[in-house]
Structure 1
């Protein structure tokens, strides 16, 4: 039994292990998008634990270019850590994490971070010396309070028209912002320039250049996103990515956004709420030190909860100060599940 790198042909066993571990099917094209089409990967960064020809464990990274204090470095986002439920107790998780740190060092990765489930978090901290930076705050804005209540109490459905009145009152308070607004279906080199302009938004943030944004959002095989961009005098000033999901209620999500200054941030929030105007609620993540957190709080969003832990592990010793959550810019788009 041993830990080894991914080899072509492992897909079938990996997909079977995913279904057995997480109790959900994953289309093969979603796996290929995630690991084979990522433009920041030369090859999939996947480690498997194999015994007698059977894959019993799996750990992997999204490799991303990131601005760390303004310089482009490689970071790894932990995804799809799993051990066959019938093989637990063999120390497989520890073997995988030990190999991950060593292989990450060989690959020149500066920093590892991720958003693990509670048990995975506990083991990751124990076996690697990683740090629990914080729990990601989730912010929520109720656009249709009656519809939201009616999703829990059907008797209130007759009152849904009141939401239209509430929406008109809210719309009347919208402030003209003076930007040219465009719907984007493919990013061009203007987004490379925007990434460079905004590289000091935080000490740590993924490089949101055109090739990354096109792959992450427009090439996704399952989710469908909308991108709205702001321009002034022909120059890109910011963008926002939104997504809607139907369920008991209509959930709108601000998945990712980036802007050159405070005015553009404010305009992006207005445009996001306009795009998501049919959603009952709008949600997003934002760390307290981030401009989006201050902006959303000022505009009626409430801190609903903090359900997702953020853990990190420095690979190079001179990056220990990156264990401070205030140094990071993170959105739901940094996670593969959104």
Structure 2
């Protein structure tokens, strides 16, 4: 077997890492848009919660080349009222020339094992998670202790006739301290949820180097933020969809939710989308409310897998208590 160095990311690894990323994912899809260093820096170094990156590099006496990566986006969560971390597995890969078969642990799995040892634990990241493609799921189930915590239906509907803009909805340029105020009003209903605050929302939806998100908000007469919906037009399950990427509204303020839902359909009609859609947990009160508004639950191929490092927070607990949205993934 070739000799490799398996270790945490170090400054200076990024050029080889991005080069290998584009080789691997470019070979898998003709639609792959090459990743730039600026995008990588936003993904890995800009995240206000930090980074999780473990690499395998050639160690044969020549120039070091990154040939495998296991990485994640960490998120700050409130879990049972305490601030903890979860991390979403992203961009994990191995160069085809250094790949083993699915029946034995190769370089990719060895890199993942060291990643989990470094970052996962009762006093470290409580949970690592993701929505893997088929090959990644097979490897994860066989070697990496992946468990399915939820299979997902998707809420969707045709946008229908343009309902017009809801006059109480505004476009938010950047988020401020009121983002956290709104999150704190909502989070008591969740056993676990990623903290929505100015740092997170501005990183995820304002400063993104590639995609534009419309940040919709409703305020009361005193100017206090009462609800937020993040909208993006994207190809996802169907081409040209209008997606609710994030939704944070107190359940006891249905009029705020109704205004934001109308604003989403208005944008869907404006953009000529095939459907408007949202992915959320089915125990949220909004899951039923959207169906009252004419949205329907459709099957999808998406499922959430988790690896928990704390006995309390197993896949069943996560299914029933962890609130998340598309914003908690890198899907769109």
- TM-score normalized by structure 1? 0.84
- CA offsets 1:132-170 (integer angstroms, 9 cap, x no match): 1122322221125xxxxxxxxxxxxxxxxxxxxxx16xx
User: Which residue, out of 13, 35, 38, partners 1:29?
Assistant: 38
Whether the 8 Å contact between 1:204 and 1:322 is mirrored in structure 2 is no
Residue correspondences, number: 308
**1:208 is matched with which residue?**
196
Whether the 8 Å contact between 2:8 and 2:55 is mirrored in structure 1 is yes
User: Which residue, out of 41, 45, 50, partners 2:52?
Assistant: 45
User: Which residue, out of 78, 92, 96, partners 1:81?
Assistant: 92
Assess, with a 3 A threshold, how the Cα gap between structure 1 residues 331 and 94 changes in structure 2: closer, same or farther.
same
Whether the 8 Å contact between 1:139 and 1:305 is mirrored in structure 2 is no
**2:208 is matched with which residue?**
220
**What residue ranges of structure 2 are gaps of 5+ in the alignment?**
27-31
Whether the 8 Å contact between 1:286 and 1:331 is mirrored in structure 2 is yes
Task: Give the secondary-structure state (helix, strand or coil) at the position aligned to 1:319.
Answer: coil
How many Å apart are 1:201 and its aligned residue?
3.3
Assess, with a 3 A threshold, how the Cα gap between structure 1 residues 18 and 323 changes in structure 2: closer, same or farther.
farther
| 1:317 corresponds to 2:326 | no
Moved more, 73-82 or 16-25: 16-25
User: Which residue, out of 102, 117, 126, partners 2:117?
Assistant: 102
Name the CA distance, whole Å, in 2 between partners of 1:200 and 1:58. 36
How many Å apart are 1:36 and its aligned residue?
0.9
Whether the 8 Å contact between 2:20 and 2:95 is mirrored in structure 1 is yes
Whether the 8 Å contact between 1:237 and 1:259 is mirrored in structure 2 is yes
Whether the 8 Å contact between 2:251 and 2:286 is mirrored in structure 1 is no
**2:29 is matched with which residue?**
none
How many Å apart are 1:239 and its aligned residue?
0.4
RMSD: 2.4
Name the CA distance, whole Å, in 1 between partners of 2:120 and 2:12. 26
**1:72 is matched with which residue?**
83
Name the CA distance, whole Å, in 2 between partners of 1:143 and 1:180. 20
**1:241 is matched with which residue?**
230
**1:266 is matched with which residue?**
258
Q: How does 1:320-331 map onto structure 2 within 5 Å?
A: 320=314, 323-331=317-325
How many Å apart are 1:329 and its aligned residue?
1.6
How many Å apart are 1:311 and its aligned residue?
0.5
Whether the 8 Å contact between 2:120 and 2:128 is mirrored in structure 1 is no
**1:111 is matched with which residue?**
127
Name the CA distance, whole Å, in 1 between partners of 2:86 and 2:283. 21
Moved more, 69-78 or 316-325: 316-325
Name the CA distance, whole Å, in 2 between partners of 1:143 and 1:274. 8
Assess, with a 3 A threshold, how the Cα gap between structure 1 residues 27 and 191 changes in structure 2: closer, same or farther.
same
Whether the 8 Å contact between 1:56 and 1:87 is mirrored in structure 2 is yes
Q: How does 1:152-167 map onto structure 2 within 5 Å?
A: 167=161
**What residue ranges of structure 1 are gaps of 5+ in the alignment?**
145-166
Determine which structure has the larger helix proportion and give its number: 1
Q: How does 1:255-334 map onto structure 2 within 5 Å?
A: 255-262=245-252, 263=254, 264-278=256-270, 279-280=272-273, 281-320=275-314, 323-334=317-328
Moved more, 272-281 or 303-312: 272-281
How many Å apart are 1:245 and its aligned residue?
3.5
